[in-house]
Each structure stands twice: as C-alpha cells, then as structure tokens.
Amino acid sequence: MFKSDALVAGRRATETKSAGGIRTGGICAGLAALALAATLLPAPTPAKADELKTVNVIMPLPRSANFYPIVAGEALGYFADEGIEVNLLPSSTTVPYVAFVQNGQAELAMLDAPQTFQAVQAGIKIKVIYEAHQKAPEGVAVLADSPYKSVADLEGKTVGLVSDRDLVTLTIALNHKGVPISDVHTVVVGEAGPTMASALKSGRVVAIAGATPDWLSLEAAGMDIRLITPTEMEDQPANSFVVSADRMDELRKTLEGFFRAYSKGMEVAKIDPQVLSAMLKKAVPEEWPNEEFGQKFVDASVDLAYSITDKKGDVQAEVWKAVQPPLVKVGELKAEIDPATFLDASIIGPANDYSRDEIVADVAAWKQKNM
C-alpha cells in the first residue's frame, strides 16, 4: 500500500476549499474579506511582450490530472495555436480567488458554487462562463460490507469528517434525507489514509464525509468502500471558471481561444486514455508515486473533469438554481440568487467549435512520437 502527497493536493483541488475558497468561514462571514482582499492585492503583472498572450489563471492546483484538459491541450499545442500561454498563479493564498479577477491580476479564476454565490451576494460583478467540473467530488462513504445503505441510516451514529470543512457536505447530505445534523455525532479523523482506515475498521466511525481523493486514500490503505451520497448531490457545478463582467468584451476573443483549447484537451481522455496518462506522467510526475496510484488518480480526475453536458463546459442554469435551497436551509446562503444574473453562455459555442477528427489525428501523432 502507498500514501502520496498527491492525495492531499488532489483533495484540495477537487474540493476547492482552500483559504481562497468559502467554506473555511461560510458565505456570510466571507463578504467583508472579499472587499478587503481586492484592495490589498498588488497591481497586475504585465503580460509577456512576445507572440503569445499570457492568460493568468488562479485555480486550486498547478498542472494536475485534476484539470487534465490544460495539460493535454498544452501537450498537443492547442493553447499555442490560439496564441495563448497559460500562466497558473500560485494557489496557496489567503486571498479569495475571486479577488484576483476583481483586481485584474488574473483573467480567470476557478470557483466552486458556494464561492460563486458568496461573490455574487457580495455584489462582485463576475460571470460564470465555463463549468470545468460538473459533478460533486464530495460525498459520504462507508465500508463495502456496511449495513448502512443511505445517509438516513446514520441517524444516532458517529460519522467521521476528513476535516471540519466536510461538515457542510454531511449536513447537506443528511438534509436531503430529512435528518438534521444534530441527530448524528461527528469527529474529525484527518486526511491520512491509514488514520481514516483505522477509524472505519475499529468502528469508531461508521461513515466518513470527504471527497474523491479521500476515497483513493482509503483504498490505498486497504479499505473496500461504498458511497451512500444522495443522488441529489451528484450533479452540480463543482468548479467553474469565472471572469470579471467588466472585462468580458475586452477578453472575448482570448477567452474563446482558451476554452476551445481546453475543450479539445478534454477530448483526449475519450480518444485515447493511454495517451492522456502518458501526457500526465510526463507533465506531473509527482502524481505518479507508482503506476497504480497514478492511474487511479487519472481515472478519478477524468470522471470529474469530462463534461456531462452535450457541449463541453456548458453552463446549466437549472442546476445552479437547484443547488441553492439546501445551502439556504443550512445557513450557507442568505437567499436564493437568480442564475441569470451571473451565468454567461456566450463562450460555449466558440469553445466547442472544433473538429474531433483533427484531435484524433493529433493524438495519434503524439503517440507515435512519444510512446
């Protein structure tokens, strides 16, 4: 069995729960911090004066399988073809990510749904223009042979939280089944796979609330697990790209090119999974402590990062509306917000304007040269 730092890094990426996020303090508590952060950020760094236009992006990780379309798009030259160089800003920051697009230091920021609601509720003018992850990585897991078939069965039991941030996940999951969080006991078990495995195996906890990398960590520690996450939580805008509303016209052509390259990179996972793995192993070797973990990490990432909508990255107003009532009920959102006020689908058409046959040919050429 193995344990890798990539598990912890991957967890931060799929959750988007860093200090740049919202769940460290709740939506209502974070509003003042957003306004302050925008004034404290340094002035934007000028783009490079060469042939490629630098697009500054802030997201939870540097290049990673979690966001494989960037790695694949760069490997096949798609961003360069659009005249773009992707510059990923350091993600370890106490400044909310949205402040970087407010300030102009980043053209794009990746936010989860609660972060987005926080920003809109604070009056920050942003537009969600492309959904990168359309499935929720968070959930609730039990041992494969556990008698518990639903989160409703956890009433009166002790449930582990990978971190205190996962209390929101558990609260919403229970809420879907009519069980108040006060009816379960919770304890933080930590992110280490062996520690989580020990808590489950000993019966100290009967379930764990966490995210996809935590399930990988448990499996790496020898545990066979089963998810009992309510199906109502599965489809949601887990991570999306946002832009300053005031810069939409200025950046439109650049954004169209960026997301066309991103969408083309996304296709690689379905065209030739082996090629994608080879690209990732070459670009981010630290996520491959061994072949077993590396491939499981890729498989889990593709499941999250490949669009479930017909058009890649499409913004789903009905989904954004549906995720709000549970957040309002548990106090993570003051009131529901009309998705039309912050969604902009105008980039989606150009982002999907490409020939899949050309990508097939490009993947074959890369494979012949590199494998």
With a pLDDT cut of 90, the percent of the chain lying above it is 71
pLDDT category of residue 50 using cuts at 50, 70 and 90: low
- Torsion sign (Cα): 337, 342, 348, 349: positive
Which residues does 328 contact at the CB level (< 8 Å), separation at least 6? 334, 335, 336
pLDDT the model gives residue 164: 87
- By DSSP bridging, strand 84-88 and strand 53-58 are parallel
pLDDT at 1: 33
Exposure of 172 by Cβ count < 10 A (0-12 exposed, 13-18 middle, 19+ buried)? buried
Nearest by Cα to 16 from 234, 169, 196, 204: 169
3-state SS, residue 115: helix
Burial class (CB in 10 A: 0-12, 13-18, 19+), 42: exposed
- pLDDT (tens digit, 9 = 90+) per residue, 130-158? 999 998 888 999 999 999 999 999 999 99
CA 268 – CA 272 distance, rounded (Å): 6
Query: Ranked by mean pLDDT, which of 18-27, 42-51, 244-253, 325-334 comes out on top?
Result: 244-253
The pLDDT score that the predictor gives to residue 93 is 83
pLDDT in tens, 178-202: 999 999 999 999 989 999 999 999 9
What average pLDDT is seen over the chain? 88
Sequential DSSP letters for 254-282: HHHHHHHHHHHHHHHHHH-HHHHHHHHHH
pLDDT at residue 18 in the model:
37
- Tell me which residue has tokens 């790209």: 241
Which residues have CB under 8 Å from 28's CB, separation 6+? 331, 334
Residue that is written with structure tokens 């996962």 in the block: 166
CA dist 3 and 194 (Å) reads: 9
Taking the C-alpha atoms of residue 221 and residue 244, their distance in angstroms, rounded to an integer, is: 43
Confidence of residue 48 (pLDDT cuts 50, 70, 90): very low
State yes or no: pLDDT of 229 exceeds 60. yes
**33 pLDDT higher than 60:** no
For residue 10, pLDDT beyond 60: no
Helix, strand or coil, per DSSP, at residue 340: helix
| pTM recorded for the entire structure | 0.83
pLDDT at 271: 98
CA–CA separation, 183 and 158 (whole Å): 10
Question: 84 — phi, psi (to 5°)?
Answer: -120, 140
Read off the pLDDT of residues 261-320 as tens digits, 9 standing for 90 and up: 999 999 999 999 999 999 999 999 999 988 998 999 999 999 999 999 999 999 999 999
CA separation for the pair 31, 28 (Å, rounded): 6
Q: Which of 325, 320, 154 is nearest to 229 (CA)?
A: 154
237-257 b/e (C-beta count within 10 Å ≥ 16 → b)? bbbbbbbbeebbeebeebbbb
Question: What pLDDT digit, counting tens, does each position of 200-217 carry?
Answer: 999 999 999 998 889 988
Q: pLDDT grade, residue 321 (50/70/90)?
A: very high
Give the model's confidence band at 42: pLDDT under 50 very low, under 70 low, under 90 confident, else very high: low
* pLDDT value, residue 234: 78
Question: What does the alpha-carbon distance between residue 27 and residue 94 come to, in Å, rounded to a whole number?
Answer: 15
Question: Stretch 44-52: mean pLDDT, rounded?
Answer: 55
Round to whole Å and give the CA distance between 81 and 85.
10
| DSSP sequence for 93-104 | -SS-THHHHHHT
Residue 214 identity:
D
Q: Which residues pair with 17 in a beta bridge?
A: none
pLDDT at 17 over 60: no
Q: How far is CA 200 from CA 106, 203, 218, in A?
A: 42, 5, 10
